[in-house]
Structure 1
Amino acid sequence: MKLFSSALVSLLLAALWAETQGRSFRSPYTTCCYPEMFIQDAIPAFFIKSYRQTLPNCTRKAVLVELQRGKKVCVDPKAAWFQKYLQRKNQTSSRL
């Protein structure tokens, strides 16, 4: 019985671990960006609903951008088009 219980607990723990490792970007728990999540093309400003920096412990610096229809993508924070977007956004908010 102890062997069965140990095996069951091990299986459950392995399933939970696999679940956390396989979370998609759409999950609210995703906080880092991986190479396949990045887009290279500029996003028109009116498509951007919100954005936030990834956590400092992530291996790649990135910005998580949420688009108007809910899709989320990763952007290089040093990309020229994103820097221009931030400048325009800061100018607009400073005028208010």
Structure 2
Amino acid sequence: MKVFCLALLTLLLVALWTGSEGVSLRSPYGTCCYKEMFIQKKIPAFLIRGYQKTPSHCSRRAVRVELLKGKKFCVDPEEGWFQQYLQQEESRSTST
């Protein structure tokens, strides 16, 4: 009986540990964007604090955009408005 309880406890701990790995924001796998996470609306440039490309191991190529209030959204890096934003940022950084 003790062996059964120990095995069950071990399985539960392993399940909890592996389940939390995918949700953790510190995990590299937590930085991927999935189909339902993308937004289609244009984000005004003045609301954007920063952005980060998703890692190469992700199934979809995307950019995670962080807004001034801390919210993060996934966008397609090929979107026209995002390409314009990148060009504006690049011209700002070269002119200063």
Q: Same fold (TM over 0.5)?
A: yes
* Cα distance change, pair 46–31 in 1 and its aligned pair in 2 (3 A): same
1:95 to 2:95 alignment: yes
Q: How much identity, in percent, do the aligned residues show?
A: 45
Match of 2:4 in 1: 3
- Equivalences, count: 93
TM-score, L = length of structure 2:
0.89
Match of 1:47 in 2: 47
Residue identity opposite 2:32 in structure 1: C
Residue identity opposite 1:78 in structure 2: E
1:12, 1:66 → 2: CA distance?
34
Residue identity opposite 1:65 in structure 2: V
Residue identity opposite 1:64 in structure 2: R
Residue identity opposite 1:4 in structure 2: C
Matches within 5 A, 1:15-94: 15-21=16-22, 23=23, 27-29=25-27, 30-94=30-94
TM-score, L = length of structure 1:
0.89
Structure 1 residues 77-86 or 11-20, which shifts more? 11-20
Gaps of 5+ in 1: none
Q: How much does 1:17 deviate?
A: 1.9
Provide the secondary structure at the position in 2 that maps to 1:86.
helix
1:80, 1:57 → 2: CA distance?
24
Q: How much does 1:4 deviate?
A: 1.4
Provide the secondary structure at the position in 2 that maps to 1:16.
helix
RMSD: 1.4
1:20, 1:56 → 2: CA distance?
18
Provide the secondary structure at the position in 1 that maps to 2:31.
coil
